[in-house]
Amino acid sequence: MRGLKPFAARATGSRTDPFRTARWRLTFLYWAIIVVIVALLSSALYELHTHDVGRIEGRRTVPEIVDEGPRFTETPSLAEYLETLGRSILLADLVTIIVAGGLSYLLAARTLKPIKEAVDAEQRFFASAAHDLRTPLAVMRSEAEVTLRSTFSTAEARAVLESSLEEIHRMSTMVDQMLELARGAPVRHAPRDAFQAIDLAALARGMAGKLAARAALRGVSLSTRAEEAARINGDAASLERAIYNILENSLAYTPRGGTILVSVKRVGGQVHFDVSDSGIGIGPEDLPHITEPFYRGDQARGAHTGGAGLGLTIAKASMDEHRAELIATSTPGRGTTISLRFPALPA
């Protein structure tokens, strides 16, 4: 199996290895600590020597006995002595700091190694588990669908099978999202010149239509208000996945009798895509974290929706791919609005 990047890089669309970034940051931290210690010790050493020779002023002569008789030599002045001492200390500090930089880099790598190995092992297990779960879920879905088409099914059995199919669908979606994150599929970073002109209004209406039946069964009103000519440059498959996840997320957290409004409009040089629901909302402490993989706030966990906390992670990855912005606003108990901001193509 090929190497797997950590989820942080995939979720944010970053091309930089987060462990490499962490290694440099840790190196700088170690190096900075050593520099501070060396500077303090050097300063203390210099002050100590200055105090010891503080009584020496000007130039003094000291008798030296040789065969020819007494002869006098000059000793260095205090300023000369301190200048020589300072140069020696600075040279020693410079060598120490350079060596400390290399040692800090090696020590940072050694510190992060067990963490990296644990994350890599977790990602390999995660990808393998997600892949292995797809087959039994597909079999369960097929058998349930075949049984539903059977004329021998009673009304009670059909109700159970329909409920089971809905749960299988949720699990399949969750597994697909897990596998996409593990493989890095949502963050392809396709070249900009490979993108195509897309009518975001038409795409939004199409994705809302796919969830209309499920919304009706849940007693939720799903409506679309989209302008024409809301064109952007992008990848249709990636955008469909992002919009579907946002809509499904809103549907999961909107109770019976609630509403979901999808709107698309052009505002200046941008195309605004907004999904507003009257759901349970998101607390202010959870709002900054909703695009993190597997993050679910207290209210979301209490809703028992069966989700894994990956929908908005994948949507955020798609926005990074399109150089677009994802903005979330919410009021607990009143609802949430997920806004996407795309650069618009000329009308």
pLDDT tens over the chain, length 347 residues: 333 344 444 444 444 567 888 889 999 999 999 989 988 888 888 777 776 666 554 445 445 545 555 554 455 566 677 777 778 888 888 888 899 888 988 988 888 888 888 777 767 776 777 777 777 888 888 888 887 777 666 777 777 777 788 778 767 776 776 676 665 544 444 555 678 999 999 999 988 988 888 899 889 999 999 877 788 999 888 898 899 889 988 998 999 999 999 999 998 889 999 999 999 999 888 888 888 876 666 555 445 454 556 788 888 888 988 889 999 999 998 999 999 999 988 86
Same domain, 243 and 294: yes
Question: What residues contact 271, with CB distance under 8 A and at least 6 apart?
Answer: 200, 230, 231, 232, 264, 265, 341, 342, 343, 344
Same domain, 51 and 147: yes
Domain hosting residue 53, numbered range:
1-185
Whether 333 and 280 have beta carbons less than 8 Å apart is answered as yes
Res 155: pLDDT: 78
Which residue from 222, 225, 226 is spatially nearest to 201, judged by alpha carbons?
A: 226
What is the sign, positive or negative, of the torsion defined by CA atoms of 43, 47, 53, 56?
Answer: positive
Same domain, 28 and 168: yes
Res 294: pLDDT: 66
Whether 326 and 313 have beta carbons less than 8 Å apart is answered as no
DSSP summary character for residue 174: H
Whether 162 and 201 have beta carbons less than 8 Å apart is answered as no
Res 132: pLDDT: 75
Same domain, 147 and 210: no
Question: What residues contact 105, with CB distance under 8 A and at least 6 apart?
Answer: 23, 27
Which of 167, 185, 203 marks a domain boundary? 185
Whether 266 and 347 have beta carbons less than 8 Å apart is answered as yes
As for how many domains the chain has, the answer is 2
Same domain, 143 and 284: no
Same domain, 1 and 124: yes
Same domain, 160 and 197: no
Query: Other CB atoms closer than 10 Å to residue 212's CB: what's the count?
Result: 13
Same domain, 271 and 338: yes
Beta-bridged to residue 266, according to DSSP, are 271
Same domain, 201 and 177: no
CATH classification at residue 292: 3.30.565.10
Same domain, 116 and 234: no
Tell me the two tokens of residue 59. 């130039």
Whether 200 and 274 have beta carbons less than 8 Å apart is answered as no
Which of 151, 168, 185 marks a domain boundary? 185
Same domain, 176 and 213: no
Same domain, 171 and 249: no
Q: Which phi and psi angles does 270 have, rounded to 5°?
A: -125, 160
Query: What's the rounded Cα separation, in Å, for the pair 202 and 205?
Result: 5
Res 257: pLDDT: 94
